[in-house]
Amino acid sequence: MWGRRPPERRAIVEHLVRPYTAPTTLMPDLPAMTDSAVVAAAGGSSEALSLLAAAVLPRVRFMVAARLSPTPAQWDAVEEITQSTMLALTQGVDRLNCRTSAGLNAWLSGVVSHKVADYLAQRGSTPPPPAQPAAGVLAADFQSVASVWQTITGRVPTPSSIAQRAEQIESLMSELGRLKDDYREVITYAFFDQLTTARIAERMGRTRPAVSMLLIRAVKELRRRMMGEAEPNLPACERTPR
């Protein structure tokens, strides 16, 4: 029953059973990514494709930054991979097999994952060049992380200054990067990529119930870190590194 579930578990379950809709007060002019928009763009409508690209661009930036945690501060890499993903979208949307918003989410998730993996493999041990911190640039797209921010903190995000948003994003990305790999991965898939539980289970090689429980634990740990709560007394093998 809902009344017996902890608040964070209730919020996560609600997120899993319905698509997230960001508060309109945060993004009054952001185009919507609907099934009809995906169908029109895949069918060759340049206008629909432009609107679709505008709708997904802010979130793609966060999808990239989340995967580059704990050091997403190399904005050159974030922006380079983002633009490469957007180019792939414009060139390949007509070949999209599942022409729905969920299908596009899954496709974008796969493209971003591959491009980030390629970037990390090519970079090797060569240090990246100095670049502008990503948090300040991403602050303008804060609505793209509104769902995870609300779930973690229990507060609805409200418009604030760029400096405040940058600080919040820096905290979120920093703590996300300190999580165990499977925690960070499931949060990235669920909140940034907005994949369904079934898709996440397929990607991670787990059952859907296992993914749901993993997400609950991951969000609880991220919340603990972001809210500055003391770490529970766990065996050393279960503690997350700092």
Write the pLDDT tens digit of every residue in 113-130: 999 999 888 876 454 544
Please tell me the least confidently modeled range out of 26-40, 53-67, 208-222.
26-40
* Domain annotation covers residue 234: no
pTM of the model: 0.74
Confidence of residue 28 (pLDDT cuts 50, 70, 90): very low
* Domain annotation covers residue 91: yes
* Domain annotation covers residue 242: no
* Domain annotation covers residue 237: no
Structure tokens at 203: 């990607």
* Domain annotation covers residue 59: yes
Domain total of the chain: 1
35-41 CB contacts, 8 Å cutoff, 24+ apart: 35/99, 35/100, 35/101, 37/101, 38/93, 38/96, 38/99, 38/100, 38/101, 38/103, 38/104, 39/99, 41/93
Average pLDDT of the chain is 76
Write the pLDDT tens digit of every residue in 214-242: 999 999 999 888 887 666 655 555 555 54
Q: Is the model more confident about 158 or about 204?
A: 204
* Domain annotation covers residue 161: yes
Q: Report pLDDT for 203.
A: 95
CB count within 10 Å of CB 229 equals 11
* Mean pLDDT across 31-44: 86
Task: Burial-class residue 181 by CB neighbours within 10 Å (0-12, 13-18, 19+).
Answer: exposed
* Domain annotation covers residue 168: yes
Write the pLDDT tens digit of every residue in 188-200: 999 899 999 999 9
Structure tokens at 29: 């002019």
CB count within 10 Å of CB 110 equals 14
Q: Is the model more confident about 193 or about 166?
A: 193
Q: Report pLDDT for 123.
A: 76
The residue range of the domain holding 191 is 2-228
